[in-house]
Structure 1
Amino acid sequence: MADLASRIENIINDQVKMSQTITSYRKPLVGFASAHDPLFIKMKEIIGTHHLHPCDLLPDAKTVIAFFIPFAEDIIQANRKDPAVAREWSVAYIETNTLIQTISQKIKEELEAEGISAVTQKATHNFNEEDLTALWSHKSAAYVAGLGTFGLNQMLITPSGCAGRFGSLVISAEIPSTSRPSEEYCRYNRDGKCQFCVNHCPTGALRVDGLDKQKCYAHLLAVDKQFPDLGLCDVCGKCAMGPCAFG
């Protein structure tokens, strides 16, 4: 199914190139994981029993497709320089969530035309707003699919950094799995020398020993009120502005 993998990568690349967004992007990353990878079972231990297995989404699941759309440098620099949350970053969040939905739907339509089942997941806001638990994690799916390693900032850091957005979907066709990286992409986890994300968290929600999700989310909701014309824009990204932003 190597040809199928290439076609899926082409769909993702083409959709990003054709996107008529204000936001500009770098080249997307794409990875594949077996739907029966033991890590998907382990997620119920690490994340919680509420987290769905690929086969919960699609009974005949064989492969999980994960992709990362990295923001262009100007988007990152704007959010680095702005003492608050940059409008450019907020627009990128909104536009890229929509783009992820478009990409996922395009892949689904293309595959279903060939008799391959596919299930998509929302780009965001697929979580319980009270306890902040999500039934499906795009970042975790991307980890299993070999796109990166988790950092101190709770982000998945890829070879192209962590400043961008992830998407994933489950399909009934088998595609060879992508190898997971053998190196550690987070500088803190590698040698303990970087705590940029902790030092730049505007609320202190992010600490070396973990993340206070409720404190973080309260800040995101406050940011949303700053951009009433953009729709739901609960975003910050200051923890993704360090050396790991680009890779």
Structure 2
Amino acid sequence: MVNRDDTGWITDLVVGLSQSPENAMHGPFDEPAWGTPLVGIARGDDALFAAYKEHVGPEHWTPAEAMALAYPHDPPAAEEIAVISWILPQTARTRQDNRAERVYPAERWARSRMFGEAFNSLLKQRAVQALREAGYDAMSPTLWPGFGMVDSARCVFASPWSERHIAHACGLGTFGLCDGLITPAGKAVRLGSVLARLPVPPAERPYADHHAYCLHYALGHCGSCIQRCPVGAISPAGHDKRLCRAHLDATRPIVLERYGFQGYACGLCQTGTPCEAGIPEALR
């Protein structure tokens, strides 16, 4: 059994798996879709996971509920579960390209959204496999059959496992005005997670407030993401998910016509902002 305080091997596992040649843009770009991941770990009995039932909605699984789906005859107790979350940073080239756009996504960004996210799913599968081979029951909630977005009275759209909220609980970042997660690698990221029956210490979060890294909330000024949104889906009041979703859907024919593959993306609010590639300097 692993020492509960020795979690460095878990980070090494995720980082090692991320270096696969399948971490790729494909098409005209012979380069990785993602930079080196950041990894955070929390214990399944962290109070935030229960709080998400209230703040996200009752449909959001706790780690114990998710693990019970995969191991119904021997479900682990919440304190026996490791919640392993990772941040996949967009590359500097992808961020630069998307920063120059005003309405639709750059090709690199669209490719990372589709092909890079496909690799993220593969990374989850391989992390689960590696953990099981090491002797630990494991699963990935977002890959569980039946997982998907649902209508939510509180959040408009929600899922039973929000990767952003999981990463926040694991100490990896806080929320911005546009609802994106601002991390030490910035807001131009994708997220993933797996669960394992594995003893780990409680998470140590370097923040007390869920908006700590957002200039708008922390200092009362910024609004860069408001200016970046091409359809006015972000305002000082927050993020209009319906407008955002409608614009994402409208990018599908553009991605096909311009870049030659089926997909959708935007990410303009994740680039060209002080939080694009890190925590804003004024808040470090």
Identify whether the pair has TM-score above 0.5, normalized to the shorter chain: yes
Match of 1:236 among 260, 263, 266: 266
Query: 1:102 Cα deviation (Å)?
Result: 1.7
Structure 1 ranges of 4+ moved more than 6 A: none
Q: Residue 276 of structure 2 aligns with which residue? A: 245
CA contact (8 A) 2:37 2:87 kept: yes
- Equivalent residue for 1:160, pick from 167, 185, 188: 185
5 Å matches for 1:176-195? Answer: 176-182=201-207, 184-195=212-223
1:239 counterpart letter in structure 2: C
TM-score by length of 2: 0.80
- Does residue 5 in structure 1 map to residue 7 in structure 2? yes
Residue correspondence of structure 1 range 35-114 to structure 2 within 5 A? 35-59=44-68, 60=76, 61=78, 62-83=81-102, 84-114=104-134
Offset, 1:129: 7.0
- Residue of structure 2 in register with 1:147 after alignment: 172
Give the structure-1-normalised TM-score.
0.91
User: Residues 40 and 53 of structure 1 are in contact (CA less than 8 Å); yes or no, is this contact kept in structure 2?
Assistant: yes
Between the two proteins, the alignment pairs up a number of residues equal to 245
CA positional deviation for 1:50? 1.1
8 Å contact from structure 1 (residues 19, 99) kept in 2: no
How high is the sequence identity, in percent, across the aligned residues? 30
Contact 1:145 1:177 in 2 (8 A): no
Q: What's the counterpart of residue 117 of structure 1?
A: 137
1:128 counterpart residue number: 150
Question: Shift of the alpha carbon at 1:88?
Answer: 0.9
CA contact (8 A) 2:83 2:195 kept: yes
Q: 1:156 to 1:129 in 2, by over 3 A?
A: same
- 5+ residue gaps, structure 2, are 26-31, 69-75, 279-284
Q: CA deviation at 1:246?
A: 0.3
Match of 1:218 among 243, 246, 261: 246
Quick one: distance in 2 between partners of 1:56 and 1:178? Answer: 19
Greater shift, 125-134 or 181-190, is seen at 125-134
C-alpha separation between the residues in 2 aligned to 1:78 and 1:36? 41
C-alpha distance in 2, partners of 1:3/1:230? Answer: 45
C-alpha change, 1:116 and 1:142, in structure 2 (3 Å) is: same
The answer to whether the 8 Å contact 1:198/1:239 transfers is yes
Aligned counterparts of 1:199 and 1:246: Cα–Cα separation in 2: 18
